[in-house]
Chains A and B, each alone.
Chain A
Amino acid sequence: MAAMATDTSARVVPVGDRSPSSWGLGDGQAIPWEYAPAPESRDIVAIRERYGLFIGGRDVEAEDGGTFPTVNPATEEPLAEVARATPADADKAVRAARRAQRRSWGTLSGRERAKYLFRIARILQERSREFAVLESMDSGKPIKESRDVDVPLAAAHFWYYAGWADKLQYAFPGRVARPLGVAAQIIPWNFPLLMLSWKIAPALAAGNTVVLKPASTTPLSALLFADICRQADLPPGVVNIITGPGEIGMRLVTNPGVDKVAFTGSTEIGKRIAKGVAGSDKALTLELGGKAANVVFDDAPLDQAVEGIVNGIYFNQGEVCCAGSRLLVQESIAEPLIDKLKDRLGTIRVGDPLDKNTDVGAINSRAQLEKITELVASGVAEGAELYQPACDLPDRGYFFRPTLFTNVAQSHRIAREEIFGPVLSVLTFRTPDEAVEKANNTLYGLSAGIWTDKGSRILEMVQRMKAGVVWANTFNRFDPTSPFGGYKESGYGREGGMHGLHAYVRLEDR
């Protein structure tokens, strides 16, 4: 697969000579020096050969004993065998969650629930490096991101919602907030532990119990989280984790014992899930795809903007639903900005996710790499101009070069479809009106970015852009106190903040 990526670029990009004397880093030139490897030790995490399902507080095999492998995308080597849940296992997990909701969690005071959640936050902090290394091995994301973003934010999420558990009456004045019951939660592979925390923390704080299904390519951090539940002495059945293919998630969605469904993933699957709850009373929140516009005005601080654009699209290999995948640049600064961007791309280090210097790690799976490769090829075929720096890619594993397209038309697939990879499409605009028009010209509406020195312009653009999160002079920032979620086909409901609690309660009159 790595070879495939190389082929795409070799066809289109003139790879410059990699003379060490060149510090100019012009078109297609690689970094003219070598970085010494700085690998993070794997010793801190003991990966078992086999993982079961976590149901009712116990580690159990799938009903039919089935398993599937989870692979390290950076080496293509299997890491462990994981139980493949059957529909009967999914039903069993829902029953376990229901029992726990009735008998233990639902009857516990908010004050006691809070203490469990604080415990979980603390243990996550204590074992943070273990989680970071495991997450990077299973998902391919660079260790510096799992270490500095995913794991600390996951712990912070539990911390934040812990404090809400005994204060729900202040979150919904004039209303009594009751738990919905059993929540089925289906999460993606791009931020496995962080998405787990976004789902489980508010659900538990509000008194619900959960059945969580992690993505089949990244089950390990969720299964390690099961160990945290045990260490925290969380009552059995409050958190249940089942692993398996997508149909198992669908089984949870349609199980009549489920009161609430929360899904993060693609818009396509989100629509299927919305259909799965049609006609029922199940509450539903969806956090789906995106095609964010990152709008740079001519008065923006360019160097800062370049860093933000890079963070916006190459963070986590671009496998981010809110990634700033459409760069809208005001025409007068397009040339210098694109030059700077190309220079900056030459310094991005692609490679071993466990190397502390790595900026862009491995693509999560072979299937995802193929999807990215196909969409990039469509960009070339439709006439956009491709640029990739001439960095070396490892011989094995699923890697893709940071990619930038110029001369992109709004009709191109690379400007319309979510690529979920390190691929930036650059478009230009002349007036703020045109910027708004282009930014909103998508079925998605998850996030947007604005780069300008002018506060009043920031606020005007905020008002006019149809997106659930708008970053001004920054991008891809997250915080447990800050509600996150989409407009339009990017989904509904919010995660984070007080609004995130709302998704897990039923409000009644006092």
Chain B
Amino acid sequence: MAGGSRTNGTNGVNGRAVRNGKTATVASAPARIDVRKTYKLYIGGAFPRTESGRSYVVSAADGTPLANACRASRKDVRDAVRAARKAFDGWAGKTAMNRGQVLYRVAELMEGRRDQFADEVAVAEGLREPAARAAVDRAIDRWVWYAGWADKITQILGSSNPVAAPYFNFTIPEPTGVVGIVAPETSSLLGLVSRLAPPLVSGNTVVLLTSERRPLPAVTLTEVLATSDVPGGVVNVLTGRKAELIPVIAAHADVDGLDTWGVPEDLRVEVETLAADDIKRLLRRPTRVEDARFDWLDDRAAERPEWIAAFLEMKTVWHPIGG
């Protein structure tokens, strides 16, 4: 679990070496047989396999098979939502500064695993090493950027309101609740972190569905989350078939908000229609923006306080003065 997978000589994922972003199965028998990782779900702070017992083969960008990932089921979604709901009061109830520190701690732990993440991102996305490293570094920096928002949101997005009556009137943001996130399909780690950090920093708990084709870096991120100070259940991560799982998340009555960034075009109308049934808050990727072309390295485009605001509820209080 410790950082620095480069030390054992075979970089990459499960013994598949990485050279210039291409994978190659090591031809001759290595001096040492690798201990391969089982990629599991992350629900309620634990790493269960899917209750369905199903898996699917994840391949590298060049088509080389890398590993089996869990093919989560409807029941796994429900378990994840239940875990997220259970964790909500505790997470939302932490002080803002504390939440900020917890997010910052995630950045600290990722920093120690930069090589491992870079290898996995390179293999998953077919990137050359410098590009993969840039994505990982930026993902770490993104945690830091959002961590700093924790204790500023209320001051930026709240207000005190000069009403024409003897009341102290103020408006404060509160987290919406359980937020479903359909992570970007293309950017397996940086894109995912860019969607995950905003609802998290304000106190929401999350059920996240990873990229379907590139789930492995996300699973490794859950190992970071599990050893960080993010309480179990605050972030729950599922891998599997989008067409199967997204409608389940969108229709789940205990999911309060949904980030639809990674929803495939052909599911968009169905998902938003399902979400309307219980007035879910939606954060929708504009139709003119293509997931595959979005530049997550561009801070101006990919760091937005509006994405925090998307899963906040404004509470206005009329407190009497005198009398």
Contacts and interface: CB of A to CB of B under 8 A. Distances in A.
Interface of A: 156, 173, 267, 270-272, 274-275, 277-281, 286, 288, 304, 443, 455, 458-459, 462, 467-474, 477, 479, 481-485, 487-492, 494, 497-499, 502, 507, 509
Contact of A497 (B156, B159, B284): B159
B38 interface: no
Contacts of A443: 278
A455 B323 CA distance: 12
B317 interface: yes
Contacts, number: 112
A426 to B, nearest CB: 23
Interface in B277-317: 277-279, 281, 284, 286-288, 300-301, 306, 309, 313-317
A468 B315 contact: yes
B320 A507 contact: no
B169 A481 contact: yes
A470 B279 contact: no
Contacts of B273: 275, 278
B14 interface: no
Interface stretch (B24-32, B68-76, B160-168, B225-233): B160-168
Contact of A479 (B159, B163, B269): B163
B163 A481 contact: yes
Interface in B251-274: 256, 268-269, 272-273
B165 A483 contact: no
- DSSP majority for the B interface? mixed
A477 B318 CA distance: 8
Contacts of B284: 281
The size class of the interface chain B forms with chain A is 35 or more
B163 A482 contact: yes
A467 B320 contact: no
Given A482-B169, A483-B161, A274 B316 contact: no
Nearest to B318: A471
A140 B268 CA distance: 43
A472 to B, nearest CB: 5
B303 to A, nearest CB: 11
A451 to B, nearest CB: 10
Contact of A286 (B272, B279, B309, B319): B279
B316 A468 contact: yes
Given A156-B164, A281-B287, A479-B163, A491 B317 contact: no
B171 interface: yes
Contact of B314 (A267, A271, A288, A483): A483
A278 to B, nearest CB: 4
A469 B288 CA distance: 36
A485 B318 contact: no
B269 A455 contact: no
Interface in B156-183: 156, 159, 161-165, 167, 169, 171
A481 B314 CA distance: 14
Given A271-B277, A497-B171, A498-B159, A458 B319 contact: yes
Q: Which residue of A278, A467, A477 has the most chain B CB atoms within 10 A of its CB atom?
A: A278
23 contacts: A271-B279, A274-B276, A275-B273, A279-B269, A288-B279, A443-B278, A455-B319, A458-B319, A462-B315, A462-B317, A469-B318, A470-B316, A472-B319, A477-B165, A477-B167, A481-B169, A482-B316, A483-B314, A492-B281, A494-B314, A499-B159, A507-B306, A509-B300
Contacts of B301: 509
A214 to B, nearest CB: 23
A477 B317 CA distance: 11
Nearest to A449: B318
A267 B319 contact: no
Contacts of A462: 315, 317
Contact of A472 (B161, B163, B272, B317): B317
Nearest to B320: A473
Shortest 10 CB-CB contacts between residues of A and residues of B: A274-B276, A278-B272, A279-B269, A479-B163, A481-B161, A482-B161, A275-B276, A278-B273, A489-B279, A471-B318
A482 B171 contact: yes
A144 to B, nearest CB: 17
Given A484-B316, A497-B171, 20 more contacts: A272-B276, A278-B269, A278-B272, A279-B272, A280-B287, A443-B278, A467-B315, A469-B317, A469-B318, A470-B317, A471-B318, A472-B320, A474-B318, A481-B162, A481-B163, A482-B316, A482-B318, A492-B279, A499-B159, A509-B300
Contacts of A471: 318
A479 B279 contact: no
A479 B165 contact: yes
Q: Which residue of B287, B288, B314 has the most chain A CB atoms within 10 A of its CB atom?
A: B314
B262 to A, nearest CB: 16
Contacts of A479: 161, 163-165, 169
Contact of A487 (B287, B313, B320, B323): B313
Nearest to B162: A481
Given A156-B164, A275-B276, A497-B159, A468 B314 contact: yes
Contacts of B272: 274-275, 277-279
Contacts of B300: 509
A481 B160 CA distance: 9
Contact of A474 (B281, B309, B316, B320): B320
A489 B319 CA distance: 25
Q: Which residue of B159, B165, B273, B316 has the most chain A CB atoms within 10 A of its CB atom?
A: B316
Contacts of B156: 173
Contacts of A473: 320, 323
Q: Which residue of B156, B301, B318 has the most chain A CB atoms within 10 A of its CB atom?
A: B318
A487 B172 CA distance: 13
A202 to B, nearest CB: 15
Contacts of B288: 281
Contacts of A469: 315-318
Interface in B38-74: none
A270 B268 CA distance: 19
Q: Which residue of B167, B287, B315 has the most chain A CB atoms within 10 A of its CB atom?
A: B315
Nearest to A282: B284
Contacts of A288: 279
B176 to A, nearest CB: 8
B46 to A, nearest CB: 29
A481 B315 CA distance: 14
Contact of B279 (A482, A483, A491): A491
Nearest to B169: A482
Contacts of B287: 280-281
B272 to A, nearest CB: 4
A286 B279 CA distance: 9
Given A278-B272, A278-B276, A468 B313 contact: yes
Contacts of B167: 474, 477
A482 B158 CA distance: 11
Nearest to B89: A464
Contact of A489 (B163, B268, B278, B317): B278
Contacts of A271: 276-277, 279
Contacts of A492: 279, 281
Nearest to A267: B279
